A and B are shown apart, each in its own frame.
Chain A
Amino acid sequence: MKTLSKILLAQAAAFGLSAPALAQEAMTIDQRVNATFATVTGPFVNFIFAPFPGTAFPWIVLWLVVAASVFTVYFGLVQFRFFGHAIALVKGDYSDPKDAGEVSHFQALATALSGTVGLGNIAGVAVAVGIGGPGATFWMILAGLMGMASKFTECTLGVKYRNEYDDGTVSGGPMYYMSKGFKELGLPGGKILAVMFSVFCILGALGGGNMFQANQAHAQIAGIVGDYPGWITGLIFAAVVFAVIVGGIKSIARVTEKVVPFMGILYVGAALVILLVNYDKIGWAFGQIFAGAFTGLGVAGGLVGALIQGFKRAAFSNEAGVGSAAIAHSAVRTNEPITEGFVSLLEPLIDTVLICTMTALVITISGQLIMNPETGQFVLNEAGSAIKTIGDTSGVALTSAAFGSSISWFPYVLALAVVLFAFSTMISWSYYGLKAWTYLFGEGKTTELVFKVIFCIFIVIGAAASLGPVIDFSDAAIFSMAVVNIFALYFLMKLVRKELKSYSARLASGEIRKFKT
């Protein structure tokens, strides 16, 4: 606890305030954090989301879509051809019983999923549908399906080029395949890319993996108990995360790991119940999704607005092409790196195609988005930046209102789910960030502690800042990881194709066979 109070003081000092003043000027702290944060991150955000000259289309979105399409074509629709095989791998049909006790395919997938399933599925989708209309869902699903190929590529490489240390622990991720893979191909610059990726990964961990989570968790709690300063939630979250990642209190992390999948199932279950009750509107909702995908139905930015939002939020939710999954999946025990690639392609499917679509359908069906009944077009808010909603909600609050309109008590469950999802995503991203940090600064207790403390400080900042600047910075940081990662993947994808060819040949010849029948 001594260390904790030191951090609190350090934070107070960072804001130029003494501890008593901290309590009195609560609102101004939030505002001050917000203003400073927006100014500092502005240029970076503007660069990442810069549109193509003369259009409104951000180049980064095209970058992700082109990559996902290239991988889909290059690996001959691997996400569909090997879908059944991926399921068999997760079930353990191909696992050698002698490897029992090692990390299984299921565990690697579950751990990676608990890092990606979270606010992106609840808040992100609401943002996409709120701005881009139901049509954004169509593009989100498409991005999810194609993103499966990106995931496959990066996770195969993640396992193939991971570091296995003498003590039996493993470290993997884009920084390792960039430096090792480029060396193997005799290409220069792998190390530079790895360093760039690591820097962006740290920013991503602090942004999308931390501040956005803290921010939305606070919004949820405030929505239930009434408004109060964000830094209070931030401090509580920071204390718990600190206890887990620095204090090594594994029990908290372990409880979360077990509750989170349960929450995920509960969430999908509740969405299914709402859809079943409103089964007569499902057809209409899909109609809205298709119509909106190509016409925009009067949303801000029209068709392009829907498309951009859909692709953006899909990438933010399933992280395909971002490189984080390559870190998560690299711990699996397998002699065939490509098997983890197959398993990982299920991730965008579960995350985006399944869970995100559920959220989008519930929001669409709930009628929270205000539509002009005469024209069939959506009504925009005063600023013209998003669709007008009942009670002017956005983000998690919109999802919450949508679920609440069918199941009155569900917002409370959702609040709990959001807090837990936020927490588990933070724990996952603290690990991704740490791996990047140790890649840059070397492994060691002190360097690791420095990162962990910085991570906790950002939780407080994230909870105090308002959604706009936080979501912009989070997106920008995560997408900048994708810039470097996808660039490297283009060079390395032929290594994956070699693996794919050899593996499918051996699978066809019966050399690779099931242990379980």
Chain B
Amino acid sequence: MGMKFLIGLDGHGSGERAMTHAQMLAKLIGDCELIAAYVIEWSPYSFQTQEENAQRHKRREEEISTAKSRIIDPAVKKLQDAGFTASGVVRHGDVAETLNALAEEQGADQIIVGRSSEGGFTRRIFGSATSNLVMSASVPVTVVV
């Protein structure tokens, strides 16, 4: 029995590199299961207008379907075409917290992510999603450069 990897995608180059690394590891270990995950940054404590609230459910569905069709479905297909057992998942939430929660939920042995690309100011104040994940994760995390 091989291992289960959760791959955090961000729709950019770093997610691609995480994919490549995960495939390499999975090939070496053999019989691995890969889960491609995309987290839509969202906070339950943000401030919204009346109108945004009224349309929130609709927007959420749209966000999920866009993320699925643009990022997750192509990634899952790529993994399956390469001969891996693969599935995909899209969630809303804080990137670090949600990836960690998904790893626990799916019983993943490791989380593989690319180095995140937030700019100077945000990172200085809140830390990057990657470093937050590394500090809070309950399974090993591989950060691909």
Interface residue ranges, A against B (CB under 8 Å): 92, 95, 97, 100-108, 110-111, 114-115, 167-171, 250, 253-254, 257-258, 260-261, 327-328, 331-333, 427-428, 431-432
Closest CB in chain B relative to A245 CB, distance in Å: 9
In the complex, the answer to whether B49 meets A104 with C-beta atoms within 8 Å is: no
Q: List 9 A-B contacts (CB under 8 A).
A: A102-B60, A103-B48, A106-B44, A111-B49, A111-B50, A168-B57, A168-B61, A328-B50, A431-B49
In the complex, the answer to whether B54 meets A107 with C-beta atoms within 8 Å is: no
Closest CB in chain A relative to B102 CB, distance in Å: 10
**B contact residues around A170 at 8 Å (CB):** 54, 57
Closest CB in chain B relative to A1 CB, distance in Å: 23
Question: SS class of chain B's interface: helix, strand, loop or mixed?
Answer: helix
Interface size on B, residues (CB 8 A): 26
Given A168-B60, A261-B47, output 4 extra A-B contacts at Cβ < 8 Å: A100-B93, A101-B40, A106-B44, A253-B51
Question: SS class of chain A's interface: helix, strand, loop or mixed?
Answer: helix
Q: Which of B14-56 contact A (CB under 8 A)?
A: 40, 42, 44-56
**A contact residues around B58 at 8 Å (CB):** 167-169
**A contact residues around B54 at 8 Å (CB):** 169-171, 331
**A contact residues around B92 at 8 Å (CB):** 100-101
**A contact residues around B60 at 8 Å (CB):** 101-102, 168
User: Closest residue of chain B to A259, judged by CB?
Assistant: B47
Which one, A103, A254, A427, contacts B56 given CB within 8 A?
Answer: A103
Cβ of B98 < 8 Å from any Cβ of A? yes
Closest CB in chain A relative to B48 CB, distance in Å: 5
Closest CB in chain A relative to B125 CB, distance in Å: 15
A106 to B48, CA, bound (A): 10
A65 to B98, CA, bound (A): 47
In the complex, the answer to whether A107 meets B53 with C-beta atoms within 8 Å is: yes
**B contact residues around A104 at 8 Å (CB):** 44-45
Interface residue ranges, B against A (CB under 8 Å): 40, 42, 44-58, 60-61, 63-64, 91-93, 98, 101
Closest CB in chain B relative to A168 CB, distance in Å: 3
User: Closest residue of chain B to A256, judged by CB?
Assistant: B49
**A contact residues around B40 at 8 Å (CB):** 101
Known: A101-B60, A101-B63, A168-B58. A111 touches B44 (CB 8 A): no
In the complex, the answer to whether B47 meets A114 with C-beta atoms within 8 Å is: yes
In the complex, the answer to whether A106 meets B45 with C-beta atoms within 8 Å is: yes
**A contact residues around B57 at 8 Å (CB):** 102-103, 168-170, 333
Closest CB in chain B relative to A241 CB, distance in Å: 13
Known: A101-B60, A102-B57, A168-B57. A110 touches B47 (CB 8 A): yes
User: Closest residue of chain A to B60, judged by CB?
Assistant: A101
Closest CB in chain A relative to B26 CB, distance in Å: 28
**A contact residues around B46 at 8 Å (CB):** 107
**A contact residues around B44 at 8 Å (CB):** 92, 95, 100, 104-107
Closest CB in chain B relative to A195 CB, distance in Å: 22
In the complex, the answer to whether B42 meets A101 with C-beta atoms within 8 Å is: yes
Known: A100-B92, A169-B55. A107 touches B42 (CB 8 A): no
A107 to B61, CA, bound (A): 18
**B contact residues around A258 at 8 Å (CB):** 47
Which one, A97, A103, A106, contacts B101 given CB within 8 A?
Answer: A97
Closest CB in chain A relative to B4 CB, distance in Å: 20
Known: A95-B44, A168-B61. A102 touches B51 (CB 8 A): no
**B contact residues around A432 at 8 Å (CB):** 50
In the complex, the answer to whether A431 meets B51 with C-beta atoms within 8 Å is: yes
A105 to B48, CA, bound (A): 12
User: Closest residue of chain A to B91, judged by CB?
Assistant: A100
Known: A101-B63, A104-B45, A258-B47. A111 touches B53 (CB 8 A): yes
For the complex of A and B, the 6 pairs showing the least CB-CB separation, nearest first, are A101-B92, A168-B58, A104-B44, A331-B53, A431-B50, A100-B92
**A contact residues around B55 at 8 Å (CB):** 168-169
In the complex, the answer to whether B50 meets A115 with C-beta atoms within 8 Å is: yes
**A contact residues around B42 at 8 Å (CB):** 100-101
Closest CB in chain B relative to A438 CB, distance in Å: 12
**B contact residues around A111 at 8 Å (CB):** 47-50, 53
Which one, A254, A260, A428, contacts B50 given CB within 8 A?
Answer: A428
A431 to B51, CA, bound (A): 7
**A contact residues around B98 at 8 Å (CB):** 100
Known: A100-B98, A168-B57. A427 touches B45 (CB 8 A): no
Residue of B46, B50, B56 with most chain A CB atoms under a 10 A cut-off: B50
Closest CB in chain A relative to B18 CB, distance in Å: 22
